[in-house]
Amino acid sequence: MAACVDLPVLPVTRISLLHWNDLAAYATVMPVQMRRRVEPGAPAEPTIESMSPVCPRTPNFAMRDDSQMDNLHPASGITADSAIVRPAAVDGPGVWPGSERRLPEAERPQRIVVIGAGLGGLAAAVRLAARGHDVTLVDKRDQPGGRAYVYRQDGFTFDGGPTVITAPWMLTDLFELAGRKAEDYISLVPVNPFYRIFFNGGDHDGEHFDYTGRSAEMVREIRRISPHESDVTGYLDFVRLTERIFAKGFTELADQPFDSPLDMARVAPDLIRLESYRTVHNLVSRFVKDDRLRQVMTFHPLLVGGNPFQTTSIYTLIHYLEREWGVWFAMGGTGAIVDGLVRLFGELGGRIRLDAEVGEIMTSGRQATGVRLASGEEIRADSVVCNGDVARAYQQLLPASVRRKYTDRRLARMRYSMSLVVIYFGTDRQYRGTDGPELAHHDIILGPRYGALLKDIFTNKTLSDDFSLYLHMPTLTDPSLAPEGCDAFYVLSPVPHLGGKIDWATQAKPYRDRIMGFLEENYLPNLSRHLVTEHMIDPRHFDTDLNSYLGSAFSVEPVLTQSAWFRPHNRSEELSNLFFAGAGTHPGAGMPGVLSSAKIVDDLIAADDRGEPMSVSLQEMAADRLGRLMTRTLGR
Ligand SMILES: Cc1cc2nc3c(=O)[nH]c(=O)nc-3n(C[C@H](O)[C@H](O)[C@H](O)COP(=O)(O)OP(=O)(O)OC[C@H]3O[C@@H](n4cnc5c(N)ncnc54)[C@H](O)[C@@H]3O)c2cc1C
């Protein structure tokens, strides 16, 4: 095994999350003024100050304050621009001032079963346990985390799924609301650049685009790759629009239940004004001309299972989210977040049962009464929260007799996101750009075809010869994830879900060989000689291990007619005390999405506790018709 070469050591102790506990309680009810940074040398941003300066539900998350960033280590690549700091007005880091900052205790504690220990399930379980409910979390797998499962082999630690952490306050909130300090459980560090994007796959010419949250850097990169000067102003105009989309789509809507069509009616004019009926690619193309730049500005929906050519432009809010609050990584990997949540849940009195597959949600009339495990054991409950895939839950856990809306036919008609091939691998050498391109923590390698490849994946459902890849190289940030002198990677390729005709039993190996050969030739010299450990998943894993319908990696596809009210609701439309937290319900996939869904479920159960009215079935029916009409009219 090669000796360790002079790795830049991250000053972890100096960059662990600072404290912003003091804002925790009142920030959820008090508008927080959003502060903007000033970037020397950056072109003037068009009227950015004038745009929705108040973010009504931007929570207890510290705003950036460059003046507090002097102590960050320059070698870490961590810049003042990307670090989170505690607002200057807040005294005493780590001071926890009292119980009013915790979630209020439920008046009538319930027995609650949560099916699935994915991030949405864990977050819901923590919230509910923090309110004093008696919560049992059951998962069919041998480890918690769901898609954030951790593979440990031959001294390497591989995060199975999420690696790009955005909206970090949504994680830290979970600890704060339970009366704990987040930094006692998890340590998040900023990643810069957010992404290094390589163009044209096989024709690798070393050209890449460093995608960051700073306008000056972005403008420099845009000028480097685009011959159109108008793309600079176009980009800045686009940023301005994404702020407005964020204010509506994230701040106002992401943590609201959308279980009444009136919710939809209320926001519809804004959504129309913000051109949500356009697709992400269509909207971006109005602002920038260069084709490669369009790719750079439109790949984000793929992170939540959407095709940029079909996903509603609401998802451009991800640009703004990343730009304003950065991209983060958990030291120890995302698995460390799962461990932190599991520990917290245990401390709150929650119970986790692994290797415990739920075979049925038991019902009486229109009420869930608990779950029956595949083993036959019954666990009674006053409410059931399902974090497993929504489609599979309706198909397999609830008898057809109680399903008025989500019939098998309807579930089959819905659209599901693509699947993935992911290869986790470790090398007995480190790749630091000496004999190949210099890689970043998050690398996106775009193939020679963009729109056509996505069409093959999402529409034709065929396995193409070419591919676009996401290459994860966490050892650049946390060397402890591999033995000394080694690197840990995963490479991810979007592929069609199982609704196509691909025989993965015969196709998986050749596909793997093509990807690894491509990486060896273009990015990781002599990879095959240095490969010391490997594990691979394909759509069958999502189908069988994770119980996801059609092996979809991100559940229900995020198109307009399957968003907000049109998405399966957080409170089941079939049973009044069955709730969904996770990727297939509102607001959608990705860590911020599933953490929001957990908050919604917690709010709904708390509202039940207070005896507040539920949504009305007549409204449901009216909006159902509206949904179908929209589907027919828009054709998606
Ligand atoms: C490879 C990959 C990379 C990703 N990268 C990112 C990223 O960088 N950033 C980001 O924000 N998002 C990312 N995502 C998306 C994100 O990981 C997911 O949207 C999110 O983690 C899904 O969480 P969830 O709460 O829906 O639960 P899931 O992770 O889907 O977990 C559901 C759990 O339910 C359990 N379950 C299902 N049925 C049953 C049953 N009948 N009985 C008992 N248990 C059951 C399953 O075993 C599973 O543990 C990625 C996803 C993948 C697959």
Helices (H), 312-405: 317-325, 334-347, 390-392
Lowest mean pLDDT among 202-206, 330-334, 409-413: 202-206
301-327 core/surface letters (b: 16 or more CB in 10 A; e: else): bbbbbbbbbbbbbbbbbbbbbbbbbbb
Q: Find out whether the beta carbon of 597 lies less than 6 Å from any atom of ligand 1.
A: no
By CB atoms closer than 10 A (0-12, 13-18, 19+), residue 210 is middle
Write the residue with the smallest CA distance to atom 27 of ligand 1.
118
Tokens in use for 140? 């069919």
Q: Find out whether the beta carbon of 430 lies less than 6 Å from any atom of ligand 1.
A: no
Distance 547 CA to ligand 1 centre (A): 10
What average pLDDT does this structure show over 612-629?
51
What average pLDDT does this structure show over 308-319?
93
Q: Find out whether the beta carbon of 119 lies less than 6 Å from any atom of ligand 1.
A: yes
pLDDT at position 205 is 59
User: DSSP letter at 151?
Assistant: E
Higher pLDDT, 20 or 2: 2
End-to-end CA distance of the chain: give it in Å, rounded. Answer: 53
Residue 248 binned pLDDT confidence (cut-offs 50, 70, 90) = confident
- Phi, psi of 277, deg, nearest 5: -75, -15
Given the CA of residue 386, which atom of ligand 1 is nearest to it? 34
- Phi, psi of 457, deg, nearest 5: -75, -50
What average pLDDT does this structure show over 444-469?
96
Q: Find out whether the beta carbon of 143 lies less than 6 Å from any atom of ligand 1.
A: no
Beta-strand runs (E) in 437-528: 442-445, 469-472, 487-495
Evaluate whether 199 touches 446 at the Cβ level (below 8 Å). Answer: yes
Q: Find out whether the beta carbon of 115 lies less than 6 Å from any atom of ligand 1.
A: yes
Average pLDDT, the chain: 83
Q: Which structural domains are found in the chain, ordered by start?
A: 111-187+333-412+562-635 (3.50.50.60), 214-326 (1.10.405), 419-544 (3.30.519)
Q: Find out whether the beta carbon of 120 lies less than 6 Å from any atom of ligand 1.
A: yes
User: DSSP letter at 313?
Assistant: G
Q: CA 469, CA 111: separation in Å to the nearest integer? A: 44
Residue 107 binned pLDDT confidence (cut-offs 50, 70, 90) = confident
- Phi, psi of 358, deg, nearest 5: -85, 130
* Adjacent-strand bridge partners of 445: 198, 469
Given the CA of residue 359, which atom of ligand 1 is nearest to it? 41
Tokens in use for 608? 């039940």
pLDDT at position 34 is 27
| Upper half-sphere CA count for residue 460 (Cβ side, 13 Å) | 10
pLDDT at position 611 is 86
466 alpha carbon, distance to own chain's centre: 26
567-598 core/surface letters (b: 16 or more CB in 10 A; e: else): bbbbbbbbbbbbbbbbbbbbbbbbbbbbbbbb
By CB atoms closer than 10 A (0-12, 13-18, 19+), residue 424 is buried
Q: CA 494, CA 421: separation in Å to the nearest integer? A: 6
Q: Please name the residues in contact with 522: beta carbons below 8 A apart, sequence gap of 6 or more.
A: 201, 202, 204, 436, 437, 445
Pocket test for ligand 1, best of 140, 147, 442 (most atoms within 8 A of CB): 147
Give the long-range contacts of residues 42-45, CB within 8 A, separation 24 or more: 42/214, 42/215, 42/216, 42/219, 43/215, 43/216, 43/219, 43/232, 43/236, 45/215, 45/236, 45/239, 45/240
Distance 144 CA to ligand 1 centre (A): 10
Write the residue with the smallest CA distance to atom 17 of ligand 1.
162
Higher pLDDT, 27 or 586: 586
